[in-house]
Amino acid sequence: MTKPTRRMVLATFIHNSGAHPGGWRYPGAEAVDQHDFKHYARLAQTAERGKLHCYFSGDSQGYPHISGRDAFAATDYAGKLEPTTLLAALAVVTSDIGLIATASTTYNEPYALARRFASIDHISGGRAGWNVVTSASDSEAHNFGRDVQMDHDDRYARAEEFVDVVKALWDSWEDGAAIRDRAAGRYFDTAKVHQLNHQGKYFKVAGPLNVGRAPQGHPIIVQAGGSDAGRGLSARTADMIFTAQSSLEKAKVFYDDMKMRAAGFGRDPATLLVIPSVQLMVRSTEAEAKRADEELLALIPEALSLRTLSLQLGFDLTGYSPDDRLPEIPLTNGGQWVQQQVIAMARAENLTIGALARRVSVSRASFSLSGTPEQIADMCETWFLQGGADGFSLSPNYLPGALDDFVDQVVPILQQRGLFRTDYEGDTLRDNLGLARPENSFVLDPTLGSEPSMWR
């Protein structure tokens, strides 16, 4: 086999005690307190031992509720550490791995968020990444002064402006602006510190940021929406897109579309990395893998799987029988890509609600595979070489075993095949992803932010 010229990106998407709703109860899982920092430190260190590019902490700012307060009592969804706080702590117990956290453009302000991620980038020496989400549930809206969430496309319009403002804030200090000239008594070269004077539809921000330019220039931008509006945002602004794809065929269509959209914005398509989230579990034989799948599935009560499906569809199915077929479901104002994928899955395979709920509650609309290390490496290789992915974000279904096994048994195979690097090559996450450090927009265009000045 000819050695591939591009190398696979590998990330791990850590859910509190595992991506599988039954993961925390699995006999092979360690009983952890989802607020215990040591748990996450160990996982990040394991991922770093495997030379993975990044550790990703997802987030939402609400307690999901469908049909009452007990709906998700069988899961660990409710309690978690705030992810940017977690990243700052992980930065000091790791040295190379990228650290990515979700933060919402709907329930934040650009200045505060730009500051937070620039700070993590400084603290970590250039390893920060921001997963830009627009948030997709009314349960989050309820915590931020709204009865229902903003309309889907308005959320994305706000996100477009939000990301632009954040990037401009990250540029508001040029490299070398802090001169610290002791003799002259000048700490900053103010000619290198810029105001944005941004006034848009959603935000009015003077700037400059009160954090100097970050080691990566811009922390890595990730986006995970799959609707037309979500893809547009990624294609224009993101370095990576995390996505849920249930088959190689679907992944290829998505991959081609994202690369084409990036080119449509005048970008080199190789600078937008398409990274499907996958649930992979290693066992030494196929029979053992099948048994582990069944044991895990048995830990998801039927009521929970129905509620999980309802959440993904944005439609309450708890009044339906598991033997019913899916009714007509209106387009949700929540997450549209996953909803459409799940509906298509049900129709294509003529699944009952119960069967669909079991499938969706295990891995949402993502691909999952339990198998031998070779089978898992083969899958990664096939998707990577056949144009379905630039890499993968492993969602371990239980912890720490599913991550340990991937790092110890699958990564070495990918390395032997020349598909994955054997060590970190650069100092920053951007270097390790092979992405260039962005030029400073104020240097490129000295007229930026000049009029009208909000500086008095």
Ligand X SMILES: Cc1cc2nc3c(=O)[nH]c(=O)nc-3n(C[C@H](O)[C@H](O)[C@H](O)COP(=O)(O)O)c2cc1C
Q: Which is nearer to ligand X, 122 or 252 (CB)?
A: 252
Return the structure tokens found at 346.
Answer: 């049900």
**Closer to ligand X at the Cβ: 228 or 404?**
228
User: C-beta of 292: minimal distance to ligand X in Å?
Assistant: 23
Least distance in angstroms from the C-beta of 180 to ligand X: 38
Q: Which residue carries 């080199």 as its tokens?
A: 268
On the CB side of 231, CA atoms within 13 Å amount to 20
Placement of tokens 């294609």 in the chain: 235
CB of 177 to ligand X, least distance (A): 33
| Distance of closest approach, residue 152 Cβ to ligand X, in angstroms | 6
Nearer to ligand X, 216 or 243 (CB): 243
Closest CB 5 distance from ligand X, rounded Å: 27
Separation of alpha carbons 194 and 209, rounded Å? 9
In the complex, minimum distance from the CB of residue 113 to ligand X, in angstroms, rounded to a whole number: 14
Q: Helix (H, G, I), strand (E, B), or coil: what is residue 416?
A: helix
Minimal distance, residue 223 CB to ligand X, in Å? 7
- Identify which of residues 223 and 440 has a Cβ nearer to ligand X in the complex: 223
DSSP secondary structure of 305-345: HHHHHHHHHTS--TTS-TTSBP---PPPSS-HHHHHHHHHH
Give the whole-angstrom CA distance, residue 452 versus residue 184: 31
**Where along the sequence are the contacts to ligand X (CB under 6 A)?**
58-60, 102, 131, 133-136, 152, 224-227, 230, 242-244, 277, 335-338
Decide whether 215 or 388 has the Cβ nearer to ligand X.
388
Using the minimum distance from each CB to ligand X, give the nearer residue, 135 or 370.
135
- Minimum Å gap between C-beta 21 and ligand X is 16
Q: Measured from the CB atom, is 26 or 367 closer to ligand X?
A: 367
User: How far apart are the C-alpha atoms of 21 and 438, rounded to whole Å?
Assistant: 39
Q: Give the C-alpha separation, 411 to 384, whole Å.
A: 14
Q: Which is nearer to ligand X, 17 or 102 (CB)?
A: 102
At position 323, the amino acid (one-letter code) is D
Q: By C-beta, is 59 or 161 nearer to ligand X?
A: 59
Residues 6+ apart with CB under 8 A from 248: 382, 383, 386, 388
Closer to ligand X by CB, 242 or 255: give it: 242
Instruction: Name the DSSP class of 2.
Output: P
Single-letter residue type at 7: R
Q: How far is the CB of 318 from ligand X (least distance, A)?
A: 22
Residue 356 C-beta: closest distance to ligand X, Å: 18
- Of residues 242 and 442, the one with the C-beta less far from ligand X: 242
Task: Please state, as a whole number, how many other Cβ atoms lie within 10 Å of the Cβ of residue 379.
Answer: 18
Long-range pairs of 66-74 with CB within 8 A, sequence gap ≥ 24: 66/307, 66/310, 66/311, 66/316, 66/318, 67/307, 67/310, 67/316, 67/318, 71/304, 71/307, 72/304, 72/307, 74/21, 74/300, 74/301, 74/304
In the bound state with ligand X, the residue whose beta carbon lies nearer, of 208 and 230, is 230
Task: Write down the residue that tokens 């000295």 correspond to.
Answer: 446
Q: How far is the CB of 390 from ligand X (least distance, A)?
A: 14
Shortest distance, position 101 Cβ to ligand X, whole Å: 8
Tokens 């053992």 map to which residue? 288
Q: What is the DSSP string of 213-237?
A: PBTTBSPEEEE---SHHHHHHHHHH
* Strand duo 367-371 + 273-282: pairing: parallel
How far apart are alpha carbons 363 and 279 in whole angstroms? 7
d(CA 365, CA 174): 42
